[in-house]
A = this chain, B = another copy of it.
Amino acid sequence: MTKAQGLKGTRDFYPKEMNELNAIFNIWKAAARRFNYSEFDGPMLEPAELWTLKSGSEIPEQMYSFKDKSNKEIAVRPELTPTLARMVAAKQKELQKPIKWFSIARCWRYEAPQSGRLREFFQLNVDCLGTESMKADAEVIATAVEIMKSFNCTENDFYVRLNNRKLITALILGAGVKKASLKDVSRILDKKDKLSEKDFMLALKDLGLKQDVIDNLIAMLNSEISSIKPDKLDEDGKKGYNELMELIGYLNAYGIFKYCKIDFTIMRGFDYYTSTVFEVFDKSGEFRAIAGGGRYDDLVKDFGGEKCPGVGYGMGDVVLSLFLKKLNKFPESKQEVDYYIAPVNEDVMKQAIDIAGKLRKNADVEIDITGKNLKKQFDYANSINAKKIVIVGEKDLKENKVTIRDMKTGKEEKVNLNSL
């Protein structure tokens, strides 16, 4: 047969690529643990309704879904938040608040593969549930900034765009947009960065907005938060304004507001966000969002639980890796081994195996299993980054010894077997 191939938009993680992936996972985990978030996970397959219910229209269209052998509609998870809400709803009474959880979730979306977008990807999720306080929003944003700083990224490399759904809704309505057009207008504002100014205007016109409403919208988008007069907002808008101001206060306390920028065009696609929304972007503007999230105060209720406010974000591995590689900030991920055991021939093999076993009590050890000659074994030991080679030869063994070569210094010494 011809060589079997993997599916389009998927990756094979050979040891090199797996080490790179683990280097990212390790930084994700360490940052989440720094803030005492606990790891969790749900199943890879879930009832499809988890995403058809509350995720908006885009996600269900991109879902890998199918009927299983019992005719149940099943989805390969496209993202983790509905699973999180389901799990919280299922054990709501037992779970201590705040619920501070993270997960590295493997997800699938049927999209056209392109730079920064694959069909299979990994997504860090950091979520804090059980409080409406903006302290939680500030904390989850702080974990995202901590991650970027752990990758040695500075304020010259990335920034966090912040918005508030309640506030922006009030501002859009205040510009003269009718309630019925709210979703459509939000969708276009969200795409502003990807459209030329002309196309952006045209898209708004196509919705039937009058020129004065469009002018109001554009003035609003270009305005600073300081120019907003909260008295002129409706109740929800006032609430959103206060939330955003409170959040800014806490971000300052964390010393990370310098990484943030209020941006009224940030909407996020999911329908379930109710308040804070934010995205992490590279400053060059070359890539899609590195991370994105927000507050979803009604989601647990939507999945059959009591109301349980929450806030969180997802950070995918694909855009992040492209970004880090471009900046030359992708973390080191060299794999080493403490000892390579080189039997000089088959006659000493069983003694060599015994020596390997002794060293393995405290170290990582590889032994030749392919019958390579000594020269080739040295080359191989070098290629796997062995720190030391233990040469097992008949003459040495008669004196109960082996020769150990330090690969860094090149120095060799004879060592008694009893002292290994």
Instruction: Choose, from A37-45, A219-227, A278-286, the stretch at the interface.
Output: A37-45
Please indicate the chain B residues that have their CB under 8 angstroms from the CB of A130 in the complex. Answer: 370
Please indicate the chain B residues that have their CB under 8 angstroms from the CB of A38 in the complex. Answer: 15, 18-19, 335
Task: Digitize A247-275: 1 where CB-to-B-CB distance is under 8 Å, 0 elsewhere.
Answer: 00110111100000000000000000000
Asked if A305 is an interface residue, CB under 8 A from chain B, the answer is yes
Q: How many copies of this chain does one complex carry?
A: 2
Best-surrounded residue of A18, A74, A85 (most CB of chain B within 10 A): A18
Please indicate the chain B residues that have their CB under 8 angstroms from the CB of A139 in the complex. Answer: 367, 369
Asked if A106 is an interface residue, CB under 8 A from chain B, the answer is yes
The answer to whether B98 touches A47 (Cβ under 8 A) is: no
Give the complex CA separation of A384 and B37 in angstroms: 11
The answer to whether A42 touches B64 (Cβ under 8 A) is: no
Give the residue name and chain of the B residue nearest to A138 (CB): B353
Give the Cβ gap from A60 to chain B, nearest Cβ, in Å: 12
Give the complex CA separation of A136 and B133 in angstroms: 58
Give the complex CA separation of A64 and B64 in angstroms: 12
The answer to whether A7 touches B360 (Cβ under 8 A) is: no
Give the complex CA separation of A14 and B6 in angstroms: 32
Give the complex CA separation of A10 and B68 in angstroms: 14
The answer to whether B42 touches A13 (Cβ under 8 A) is: yes
The answer to whether A44 touches B108 (Cβ under 8 A) is: yes
Task: Digitize A343-377: 1 where CB-to-B-CB distance is under 8 Å, 0 elsewhere.
Answer: 00000011101100100100111110111000000
Give residues of chain A (75-97) contacting chain B, Cβ–Cβ below 8 Å.
Answer: 76, 82-83, 85-87, 89-91, 96-97
The answer to whether A44 touches B44 (Cβ under 8 A) is: yes
A45: contacting residue among B49, B76, B90, B255, CB under 8 A: B76
Asked if A50 is an interface residue, CB under 8 A from chain B, the answer is yes
Asked if A131 is an interface residue, CB under 8 A from chain B, the answer is yes
Report, as a range, how many residues of chain A touch the other chain: 35 or more
Are A120 and B366 CB-contacts (below 8 A) given A14-B87, A101-B15?
A: no
The answer to whether B4 touches A47 (Cβ under 8 A) is: yes
Task: Digitize A159-179: 1 where CB-to-B-CB distance is under 8 Å, 0 elsewhere.
Answer: 000000000000000000000
Asked if A191 is an interface residue, CB under 8 A from chain B, the answer is no
Please indicate the chain B residues that have their CB under 8 angstroms from the CB of A3 in the complex. Answer: 86, 89-90, 303-305
Are A19 and B39 CB-contacts (below 8 A) given A14-B91, A44-B108, A370-B130?
A: yes
A interface with B by C-beta (< 8 Å): 1-7, 10-15, 18-19, 21-22, 33-36, 38-47, 49-50, 64, 66-69, 72, 74, 76, 82-83, 85-87, 89-91, 96-98, 100-101, 106, 108, 110, 120, 128, 130-131, 133, 135-136, 138-139, 142, 146, 249-250, 252-255, 302-305, 335, 337, 349-351, 353-354, 357, 360, 363-367, 369-371, 380, 383-384
| Cβ contacts A to B, 9 pairs, < 8 Å | A1-B302, A4-B304, A18-B38, A18-B39, A34-B360, A35-B366, A133-B371, A139-B367, A253-B351
